[in-house]
């Protein structure tokens, strides 16, 4: 009876926290809600933009970044509408900013708040190359990888008692430790050139973001075949030097390109030059 009383609430919490990643169907463990993650992400995002140089929307490069971000966000919404889950992205407030930095990097926070660094543009070269990067980063947010890492950290650090769930509970009971975990996962107001996401995505999450990203960029009207060329350029940049932050925790170049080639036949079924997604046979 004592074991039932002790572990029963924990079992209920675990069952409640089970979720599935779109497209891949992988099961994941989430103890935090979208609204909690999105709210904290918005605060961190504002702090970051306030302490970094944002390129004006009137510039050609910034306009391109925003255009690609908007197309991929619309494609993602379209995907969920066509697959019978139109409310999946409720609460997402999409925003993309170009930030001055030599770092070859980009990231997207929960809720759709994204930053692209100017340092990655010489590697992306084209809109399609940029769509590879942005589709990948947006997919981290859509697959709730940040919430997954927060949940794992909350359990590992004992921030929740048995049967408890949610960031608000953890913040109320152990505010310093919970805020510290958040800062470790996402960083707060990082200086120009610093990588906001500090606690690395696992390699499985990186490959998963590649998968989702290829689908979303294809639906947005960008040829997913461009992903092979882009990652080839990243591999060349990586040779003989310290890898860019964008690559520091990712699968090896050869492994990533091989995995992408396996996914391309699926992604190509979603691709139409106009970005309508009507060519797809996957819905």
Chain Cα centroid distance, residue 190: 18
What average pLDDT does the segment 197-204 reach? 55
192 vs 81, more confident: 81
Q: Would you say residue 275 has pLDDT above 70? A: no
pLDDT winner (highest mean) among 37-51, 144-158, 187-201, 241-255? 37-51
The pLDDT-based confidence of 247 (bands split at 50, 70, 90) is low
Q: Would you say residue 4 has pLDDT above 50? A: no
Inter-residue contact 114 to 95 (CB < 8 Å):
yes
The pLDDT-based confidence of 33 (bands split at 50, 70, 90) is confident
Q: Which of 8-17, 23-32, 149-158, 264-273 has the lowest mean pLDDT?
A: 8-17
224 vs 205, more confident: 224
Whole-number average pLDDT of the chain: 80
Q: How many residues does the chain have?
A: 283
Inter-residue contact 85 to 40 (CB < 8 Å):
no
The pLDDT-based confidence of 31 (bands split at 50, 70, 90) is confident
What are 92-106's pLDDT values in tens digits? 999 999 999 999 999
Catalytic, 137? Answer yes
Q: Where are the domains of the chain?
A: 52-147+200-268
Percentage of residues of the chain with pLDDT beyond 90: 54
Q: Which of 137, 148, 206, 208 is an active site residue?
A: 137
Q: Would you say residue 236 has pLDDT above 60? A: yes
Q: What is the pTM of this model?
A: 0.81
What average pLDDT does the segment 165-184 reach? 58
């Amino acid at each position: 009876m004592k074991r039932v009383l002790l572990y029963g609430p924990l079992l209920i919490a675990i069952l409640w926290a089970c979720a599935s990643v779109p497209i891949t169907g992988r099961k994941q463990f989430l103890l935090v809600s979208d609204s909690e993650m999105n709210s904290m992400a918005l605060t961190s995002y504002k702090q970051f933009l306030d302490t970094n140089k944002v390129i004006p929307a009137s510039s050609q490069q910034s306009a391109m970044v925003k255009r690609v971000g908007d197309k991929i966000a619309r494609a993602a919404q379209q995907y969920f509408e066509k697959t019978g889950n139109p409310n999946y992205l409720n609460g997402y407030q999409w925003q993309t900013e170009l930030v001055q930095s030599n770092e070859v990097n980009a990231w997207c926070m929960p809720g759709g708040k994204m930053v692209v660094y100017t340092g990655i543009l010489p590697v992306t070269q084209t809109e399609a190359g940029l769509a590879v990067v942005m589709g990948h980063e947006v997919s981290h947010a859509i697959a709730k990888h940040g919430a997954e890492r927060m949940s794992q950290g909350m359990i590992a650090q004992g921030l929740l008692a048995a049967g408890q769930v949610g960031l608000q509970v953890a913040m109320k009971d152990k505010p310093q430790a919970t805020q510290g975990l958040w800062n470790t996962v996402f960083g707060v107001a990082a200086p120009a050139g610093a990588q906001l996401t500090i606690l690395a995505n696992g390699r499985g999450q990186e490959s998963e973001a590649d998968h989702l990203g290829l689908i979303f960029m294809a639906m947005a009207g960008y040829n997913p075949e461009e992903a092979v060329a882009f990652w080839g350029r990243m591999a060349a940049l990586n040779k003989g030097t310290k890898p860019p932050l964008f690559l520091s925790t990712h699968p090896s170049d050869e492994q990533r390109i091989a995995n992408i080639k396996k996914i391309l036949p699926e992604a190509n079924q979603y691709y139409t030059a106009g970005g309508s997604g009507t060519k797809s046979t996957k819905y």
